[in-house]
Amino acid sequence: MTTTALTHTPQDSGVPASARDFSVEERVVIVTGAAQGIGRELARQFAAAGAVAVVADLDIDKADTVVKEIHDAGGVGVAVKVNVADESSVVAMVDTVIEQWGRVDVLINNASIFATIEKGPFDQIPVAQWEQVLKVNVTGSYLCVRAVASHMRTAGFGRIINISSDAVTRGVGNYLHYVTSKSALIGMTNSLARELGGHGITVNCVRPGMVATEVERAVNPTVEGRERAASQQCIPRGMVPTDLVGIMFFLATPASAFITGQTIACDGGYTHSS
């Protein structure tokens, strides 16, 4: 495997931000669950902005397709197969990235079980399904953080971004396993920010609203349901994956060095934080 030299190694400092600090160019960015949906678009957009996009997914064929899209657009990307719920698989993924690029600047914990979940009362959720959702959505994110943390400490720079859901604040019924898992990511974000802040590593969480993607769901919202949700937003239109790009870029750069332990809503103003 060929190692590609990058021209700069980012580190955090207290100096005033410059234009360079707002750039994601040459960042090495791992996006889990990047073979489709939100993750796919984030990987494509980071690559388009000059980052190295690591398309990490269990479905390596789809991941390869995303990397081809990135390459066809003139970007840099690499597909890596990973099962985020398996520690050895996660370690192997990070080792592959370190071997090829020498560092990990950004980890976006996007992989989760959602589209395949069928709605149901909490007391009818099979325990095996409950455990599977928590293992992927919570333990998977933890394992990924654990695998990249030592490399980020050594570099004195790191950006970890967890993706939660507005379902947490709305308390959506009949999705208890999913809502619980996304709630846990907020607590994980807060605690990790305390442990990693002294090493130049920030940990933040983004809470999207209802995002329309190409992914088919076990329970697809109706057109009326989407329109009703959009009408309750301050920005009354449907949300698409590119709506997340701006906040994700910012949290991935040195410009956000003094922001950590935060959960930021990106939902068109559907909810308001105090």
Q: Is residue 6 part of a domain?
A: no
Task: Locate 119 and state its tokens.
Answer: 């709605």
Domain assignment of residue 54, given as a range: 25-212+219-266
Q: Is residue 128 part of a domain?
A: yes
The average pLDDT across 109-125 equals: 93
Tokens 């690591």 identify what position?
54
Q: Per the structure, how many domains does the chain have?
A: 1
Q: Is residue 10 part of a domain?
A: no
Kindly report which listed range (12-21, 96-105, 205-214) carries the lowest average pLDDT score.
12-21
Q: Rounded to 5, what percent of the chain is helix, strand, coil?
A: 45, 15, 40
Q: Which residues contact 179 (CB under 8 A, 6 or more apart)?
A: 165, 167, 168, 171, 172
Q: What is the mean pLDDT of the chain?
A: 92
Q: Please confirm, yes or no, whether 175 is among the known catalytic residues.
A: no
* Positive or negative: CA dihedral 122, 211, 41, 259: negative
The reported pLDDT for the residue numbered 214 is: 73
The average pLDDT across 17-25 equals: 86
Please provide residue 106's backbone torsions phi and psi, each rounded to the nearest 5 degrees: -135, 135
Q: Is residue 108 part of a domain?
A: yes
**Domain containing 109 — which CATH number?**
3.40.50.720
Q: Is residue 16 part of a domain?
A: no
The reported pLDDT for the residue numbered 226 is: 77
Measure the N-to-C terminal CA separation of the chain; round to a whole number of Å.
Answer: 49
Q: Is residue 57 part of a domain?
A: yes
Please provide residue 265's backbone torsions phi and psi, each rounded to the nearest 5 degrees: -80, 135
Q: Is residue 4 part of a domain?
A: no
CB atoms within 10 A of CB 3: 10
Residue 112 has pLDDT above 60, yes or no: yes
Q: Is residue 73 part of a domain?
A: yes
The reported pLDDT for the residue numbered 2 is: 45
Catalytic residue among 142, 175, 178, 270: 178
pLDDT tens across 170-207, in order? 888 999 999 999 999 999 999 999 999 999 999 999 99
Asked if 55 and 66 touch (Cβ cutoff 8 Å), the reply is yes
pLDDT tens across 214-244, in order? 767 656 667 777 788 889 999 999 999 999 9
Task: Locate 148 and state its tokens.
Answer: 């990249």
Q: Residue 219 carries which DSSP code?
A: S
Asked if 203 and 142 touch (Cβ cutoff 8 Å), the reply is no
Residues β-bridged to residue 162: 109, 205
Q: Residue 120 carries which DSSP code?
A: -
d(CA 168, CA 209): 10
Q: pLDDT confidence of 1, banded at 50, 70, 90?
A: very low
The reported pLDDT for the residue numbered 63 is: 98
